[in-house]
Structures are given as structure tokens and as C-alpha cells.
Structure 1
Amino acid sequence: MTFFRAIACVALLGLTTPAIAQGTKVAFGAIQQDTSAPVEVSADELSVDQATGAAIFTGNVIIGQGAMRLSAARVLVIYRQDSQGIQRLEATGGVTLVSGPDAAESQRADYDIDDGVIVMTGDVLMTQGQSALSADRMTVNLDDGTARMQGRVKTILQTGNN
């Protein structure tokens, strides 16, 4: 059980009011993300495909941009065709995204740098303080600090008595 799933389980124990929906919009992150900020990547290994110019980072990959941090086992970096910066990132394997006090984990995350959008898929779990939401998919808009949860969304609402 991962760290965030363990926190979510503890936060959800003892609460009795489930809320299930097919899609919902929530805030994500304490601040708006500067999508024009430099992207810093660290990993155990890097390989570059000379034909496509794509870079593959593997092993303990950590990506930082401003106050946002994304970690995964593997990240594919796809550069713009004009070689002027990163077009998108594709992260797989135990993906964790942290922005301010909020955190989310999933099996995969695709980050479109120009649009400032991260799409997380596969057993998505988002934690905000003591609250947690799960879904099949979460789309995070970094420009306005919102997230949309879709596909079997589930949360347990705090009643204020706990």
C-alpha cells in the first residue's frame, strides 16, 4: 500500500456518508502553477532516442516545475519539433503529483506543457488534508488550479463530528 493510499484509508475510516458521482470538479494545489517555469528532471538513468529526439528518464524520476513535484518510475520527455523546449511528459509507474497541500497518485500521468494540463489515469487517488477522492481519471488545469475527476468518482464526506 502506498503512502498516499494509506493516508486516505486512515482518513476515511469511521466515516459513513459516501458520495459517488460520474464527474466532479475540485480545487487542486494552493497556488496557480507557472507553466512557463523551467522543468527540472532528476533520475537514475537517461537514454535518448537520436531518431526522434525523445528522452527517457528511468528510476526514481523526480520532476519539478515551480512549486509542483511529479515523481514516477519512468518519464518520457517529448520535445517540440523545432527543438525549442519540451512539448509534453508521459509518466508511468507509481506516479505521484504534489502541488501545495494537495497530492494525487495514479498509474499514469500525461503533462501537456503548452496547455498546462495534466491528465492522470489508472486508480487515481487525490488527498486534500483529511479528505480523499478516487476516480478513474483526473484532469488538472494548472493555470486555474482546478481538477476534474471522472469515472466512478468516490469520496467520503466529513460531517464535522469527527
Structure 2
Amino acid sequence: MKRSVVAAAAALSLLAVVGGATAQSRANVSRQPIQVGANTGEYTPTGFSLRDQVEITQGPNRLRADAIEGARGSGDQINTVTASGGVYYVTPNETIRGDRAVYTVSNATIVVTGDVILTQGKNVLTGSRLTYNVDTGAASMASSAGSRIQGVFYPQGSGG
């Protein structure tokens, strides 16, 4: 388990990028330690795998899931981090829930699929696929065949 935590901590420094929608909060988060917790884990030549009540925190940001895996490309760099089973990602500004999430390092994008819920303050948007750019905070929600995107938005100053 010790090797998996070391490998996961190195790979999960990527989550500093996944941290927040604004450059200021992200810069603050990226300087903070990464904490990893899981019931089981392993390190392999192709990446790492953490299972059973996995939680990763860095500063105010948290990623929880039943399982989180990191995959290496060429070299020692982690290319993707995949979370599955009860995915819950929260920053100071957003909360994203879904069944599965794949974070791609090269384009700083996380794609959450399944029953997706994006919450920003009181505003809520639901769909089946959310693409979220962690550098800009831009989000794009899509629906699957036969379903629709749904949302509730509160104008500023509405008190609701």
C-alpha cells in the first residue's frame, strides 16, 4: 500500500489542475499538500489503482469515488485519471456528481457521465454528459437519446 500512496500522490498532483475554476483559487490549491485515502491500492508499471472509499483532497477541493485509476502514457507521466462509482467532485464554486469521470491531463478537461448533476450555488443543471474545462470553468452539458437537459437557475438578487 505504501508504494501505491506514493505513486498516487505523484500522479494526483494533476488534481491541482482539476482544483478550481479560477486561476487565483487554483494557484492557491496547487501549492497545498495532496491527501489520499483508500481501503486498498496498488501501483503498477502502467499506473495506479485505488479502491474502496477513495478520497483525494487538495486544499478545499475533494474527489470521492468507489475507485480511482491513473493510466500512464509514454514516459512516467499520468495521461488520464478515471474515477468510477459514485463520483463526487467539489470545488469552492462547483459540485459535480456522476457515475464516472475521466480527467485528461493534456487538455485539462474532465468528462463526467451517467446521471450528472452540476451545482453552482443554488443553480442546478442535470444531464447525462458534462464536459468541464478546469482551467476556464467552462461547462458543456449534453443529454442522451430520449432525455433532456434540465436546470434551475436563480437570477442574482432574486432571494430564491
Q: Out of 107, 120, 142, which is 2:99 matched to?
A: 107
Q: In the alignment, what sits opposite 2:52?
A: 59
- In structure 2, the CA distance between the partners of 1:115 and 1:30, relative to structure 1 (3 Å rule), is closer
Distance 1:122 1:47, change over 3 A: same
Q: When the two structures are aligned, how many residues end up with a matched partner? A: 131
Q: Report matched runs for 1:89-100 at 5 Å.
A: 89-100=81-92
1:127 deviation in Å? 1.2
Question: When the two structures are superposed, what TM-score results if normalisation uses the length of structure 2?
Answer: 0.70
Higher strand share: 1
Q: Tell me the distance in 2 between the aligned counterparts of 1:70 and 1:49.
A: 22
Q: Identity of paired residues, percent?
A: 30
Distance 1:67 1:114, change over 3 A: farther
Check the 8 A contact 1:31/1:100 in 2, yes or no: no
Cα RMSD for the two superposed structures = 2.6
Structure 2 residues not aligned, in runs of 5+: 1-19
Distance 1:112 1:66, change over 3 A: farther
- CA shift in 2, pair 1:157/1:144, >3 Å: closer
Provide Cα deviations, 1:51-99, integer angstroms capped at 9, x if missing partner.
Answer: xx2211001212345653211010111123211x321111000001112
TM-score calculated relative to the size of structure 1: 0.69
Partner of 1:155: 151
**Consecutive unaligned residues in structure 1, runs of 5 or more:** 1-28
Is the counterpart of residue 48 in structure 1 residue 40 in structure 2? no
Q: Which amino acid aligns with 2:43?
A: V
Q: Equivalents in 1 of 2:66, 2:127: separation in Å?
A: 21
Between structures 1 and 2, the one with greater helix share: 2
More relative contact order in 1 or in 2 (CA 8 Å, sep 6+)?
1
Shift of 1:48: 3.2
Alpha-carbon offset, residue 107 of structure 1: 0.2
Distance (whole Å) between structure 1 residues aligned to residue 127 and residue 49 of structure 2:
28
Question: In structure 2, do the counterparts of structure 1 residues 115 and 143 end up closer, same or farther at CA, with 3 Å as the change threshold?
Answer: same
Q: Read off the aligned partner of 1:123 and give its amino acid letter.
A: D
